[in-house]
Amino acid sequence: MKKIIVFITSCLLLISLNGCNNVKDINKEVENINMPKSYVVDENTKEIYFAGGCFWGIEKLFQSIDGVLDAQSGYANGKEDIIPDYKKVLGGDTGYRETVKVIYDESKVSLEQLLTAFFYVIDPTVEKRQGNDVGDQYQTGIYFLDENSEEIITQFVEKEKEKYEKFVVEIEPLSKFYLAEEYHQDYLYKNPNGYCHIVPKTFDEINDVIKDVPNLSKYAKPSDEYLKNNLTDLQYNVTQNGDTERAFTGEYWDFFEKGIYVDIATGEPLFSSLDKYESSCGWPSFSAPIDENNILFKEDKSFGMDRTEVKSKSGDSHLGHIFYNEPESPNGIRYCINSASLKFIPYDEMEEQGYGDLLYIFE
């Protein structure tokens, strides 16, 4: 009896140490995946790649997050002369990392929130290991496709590094990615009791963990081609080239309905009808923005004048200028803004259009 107990214990230990290498029979129906079966690709659809140890757990982590459209296991950034498969990568010395491709809707979940989820489950201080999984393929990493993602990741990681004496997570452009074999895809949904180096309750709590992380990339500036195709000539020239619409011609100069005004280029909230006042200047005038953190100020000496330009923070759109000691303003400040830079969101549509979090300003 003692020999049997020792044998069983040894087997359990071996399974634990093998971790992600312990592939079981997984030819089962995939059920209850908390993700859409299909999705529309538009300007809000983004990609990012995470290597966080065994890809089974990392894949399910991101499948559990609201706003993630798809998560697929694969192999990233290995040697040029190797086409990876599981056996080759498991053997080591290929340079490939077990990596999860994450496709997400940035209007619903931000890259900062995904990064928060990633660092919530990994140990960034250990090299080529996570949990029980040891090997070159288990090196942690974040691999990006574009400069905007790189900038967000770099800023986020700099703050993370301050928490640790040692930090070994790779931060690199994605050079190559191969999907893993089909039996690795949706592994923990096919095998609910399968091995995972992530504590299972994490999948249920991760949305609460990241819900208060600011969604700064929600209002990321679109490509110039997108702006040219989606803005009028006047809107494009005002926001991108710093032009000014003629006085008394803009859509909102004498418009006073209840609601908010957002950047026409990005949708970033800028001004509220609560701070809009009647002005004789011929342009929409506000005494204050909704949040000064969404506004940038720039010295403007064009046309022989000494003025302060007002721009949106996320989109870098030209909005207008700010003036002081204005007798018509309730506080002496006038944000003189081009209608062409703005889009009005009626109060009754704020929730529907994704601005429900700002309804409190009207209470």
What is the amino acid identity at position 94? T
Which of the residues 11, 20, 54, 281 is marked catalytic? 54
What is the rounded radius of gyration, in angstroms, for the C-alpha atoms of the chain?
26
Burial of 182 (0-12, 13-18, 19+ CB in 10 A): exposed
Sign of CA dihedral 74, 77, 78, 81: positive
Query: How many whole angstroms separate alpha carbon 248 and alpha carbon 254?
Result: 8
3-state secondary structure of 276: strand
The answer to whether 82 and 93 are in contact (CB under 8 A) is no
Provide CB contacts within 8 A for 22, sequence distance 6+.
15, 195
Q: Say if strands 133-134 and 129-130 run parallel, antiparallel, or are unpaired.
A: antiparallel
**What six digits make up the tokens of 186?**
């949706």
Provide the greatest CA pair distance for the chain: 96
Is residue 20 annotated as a catalytic residue, yes or no? Answer: no
**What six digits make up the tokens of 239?**
């926001």
Query: How many whole angstroms separate alpha carbon 73 and alpha carbon 184?
Result: 7
Catalytic residue IDs: 54, 336
